[in-house]
Structure 1
Amino acid sequence: MGRIVGAVIVGTEQISGGIPIFHAKDQEEQQRLILSLEKIMDVMAHDLKNGTFILVDHKHTQ
């Protein structure tokens, strides 16, 4: 099991939670953010198919 460490969304929807939320102005910017964050944070992005990608650390163990 992994740990969700962030989310990348398009637009300025009002969502909240206990993780960092990165807002992109369009899908092109969203893809750039996802690629950069995957490399920087050493995580994987997963598409929830609703305009939201979650960033998951699959190495995290409890």
Structure 2
Amino acid sequence: MDKGLKGGILAIVTMDKDKVTGGGCPVFLAVDQKEQEKLGLFLARILDGIVHDLENGVYFICRH
């Protein structure tokens, strides 16, 4: 029986910590866009999720 997460936001990757407040998932800060993209892809692979770009400097990884 699988008791893992079925959906929801698993992680957030941003360069601007002021754009993300509160919440119940880990937030990863990147120093530049290249690192942000790399972190997003690695986390999506590790967490078996999908990266979504909000086009405001914030990526989030979720599982549908």
**TM-score, normalised via structure 1 length:** 0.80
Structure 2 residue runs without a partner (length 5+): 1-6
Structure 1 residue runs without a partner (length 5+): none
Identify, as 1 or 2, the structure richer in strand.
Answer: 1
**TM-score, normalised via structure 2 length:** 0.78
Residue 39 to residue 9, structure 1, CA distance change in 2 (3 Å): same
Tell me which residue corresponds to 1:25. 31
Give the one of 51, 54, 63 matched to 1:45: 51
How big is each residue's C-alpha offset from its partner over 1:13-55, in whole Å with a ceiling of 9 and x where there is no partner? 3632211101000000001101111111100010111000111
AA in 1 matched with 2:8: R
The number of residue pairs the alignment matches comes to 58
